[in-house]
Structure 1
């Protein structure tokens, strides 16, 4: 059997005696697209924070391609191959669209600080290559013509897409999307659905998606994990989840 790209095993965290997440388990294969859903306050973003090193779990472990990642800080998680977006957009708002993507290539830059100061040929060569790669990522979202625009001047939906493009620039093995369709209109959501499918095929990465837009989740996810009060209450195909009494009860009340 192949080793999962990402595996969370018995993952949990306690805050002052309160168990925010308990016994969370998921295995994601390469190019698999999984949804993580649940009512508000169920612990979805806490799970993302555990998977990306923002929080250190009080129990359990996280593995990337079979390698344990517990104890690593967020920047080390990114370097290992786990990238994410945020529920509340976190862009460098005064920087250009292109610069927002380029900053994510920072850990792969090979020129030295001195070469940058002196504007050496090696500096210009690498900068031009990073510009090209950044524009390629923007083209996934049809945003290459906006490269010179200031990020904060973009419409909300395009800011969301820019954040995803920046995450892709870290060359992740797993991409965690925290409510990417939040605040989008139906047209923008439809475009996002197409972009997510394209990302998976073009970059060959696994995707774990938190989303409240059930139409998006049911249409793009192969499997869905449902949590409530920090615990998994169901997992299965979209059809199985849509007809699961426990899931219906969690969302609508018994």
Structure 2
């Protein structure tokens, strides 16, 4: 049996009198790609914020490889092995492409501040090592020839891929992708799909994906969780979700009785 990477049990959060997420449960195993979908405002990004320490759950708990993560700061969550991308790209736009990736190795460096200031042999050795690792990641995304470009000068689709490459550099066990195909044209989306498949094959990491492009979701996700108004309304295989009347109603706003008439 594959190792359980992420487990959320009765996870929830309230803001004042509003329950943004209620009784959310999920289990993701090593190497699995799961989709998290729902209409706009359903609470999907709030779930991501709970899983990355941006918000502290007011109910329930979640575990990474059996370790309880409630109450950990965002940097502690990253150190433990959860990384994410965002709906709105958050790169270090004035830094180069390769610098954006190398900065994610910051938790692994061994040289200290004096070594960096005086450019010690340890500093140069580690910088060379992490530059090489960063280049290997950029090759996966076809960005190796853009390594020394300023990140802000990349086309939109390539900025998206760079953000994923930077997340991979943290050495995570679970990757959270928040609408990675948003704003992409069909060619860019197809290239992203290829990259995600390569990531799974090469790194074997678990992935939780939020995405509004249903064709993408149905192509790559092994299982899908659907939430609406913060409540889970369906969990299952892509074909089961596609024919689930409650899911169709949530997306289309149709009345179930009218649908059955």
Which band: TM-score by shorter chain?
over 0.9
1:157-216 Cα shifts (integer Å, max 9, x gaps): 000000000000000000000000000000000010111111011111000000000010
**2:108 matches 1:103:** no
**2:43 matches 1:37:** no
SS at match of 1:247: helix
Superposed displacement of residue 2, structure 1? 5.6
CA contact (8 A) 2:3 2:30 kept: no
Q: Please name the residue that 1:142 is paired with.
A: 142
Q: Measure the CA separation in 2 of the matches of 1:119 and 1:158.
A: 32
Q: Measure the CA separation in 2 of the matches of 1:142 and 1:89.
A: 18
Q: Measure the CA separation in 2 of the matches of 1:229 and 1:160.
A: 28
Q: Measure the CA separation in 2 of the matches of 1:140 and 1:120.
A: 31
Q: Measure the CA separation in 2 of the matches of 1:253 and 1:120.
A: 63
Q: Measure the CA separation in 2 of the matches of 1:34 and 1:72.
A: 24
1:212-247 Cα shifts (integer Å, max 9, x gaps): 000100000000000000010001000000000000
Q: Measure the CA separation in 2 of the matches of 1:198 and 1:35.
A: 17
**Alignment map for 1:1-254 (pairs within 5 Å):** 3-254=3-254
Under a length normalisation based on structure 1, what TM-score does the superposition of the two structures give? 0.99
CA contact (8 A) 1:36 1:227 kept: yes
Under a length normalisation based on structure 2, what TM-score does the superposition of the two structures give? 0.96
Q: Measure the CA separation in 2 of the matches of 1:241 and 1:123.
A: 52
CA contact (8 A) 2:79 2:107 kept: yes
CA contact (8 A) 1:223 1:236 kept: yes
Residue-pair matches, total: 254
Q: Measure the CA separation in 2 of the matches of 1:198 and 1:82.
A: 19
Report the aligned-residue RMSD. 0.8
> Which ranges of structure 2 fall in alignment gaps of 5 or more residues?
255-261
Q: Structure 1: which 4+ aligned runs deviate by more than 6 Å?
A: none
- Larger CA deviation: 111-120 vs 6-15: 111-120
Superposed displacement of residue 3, structure 1? 4.7
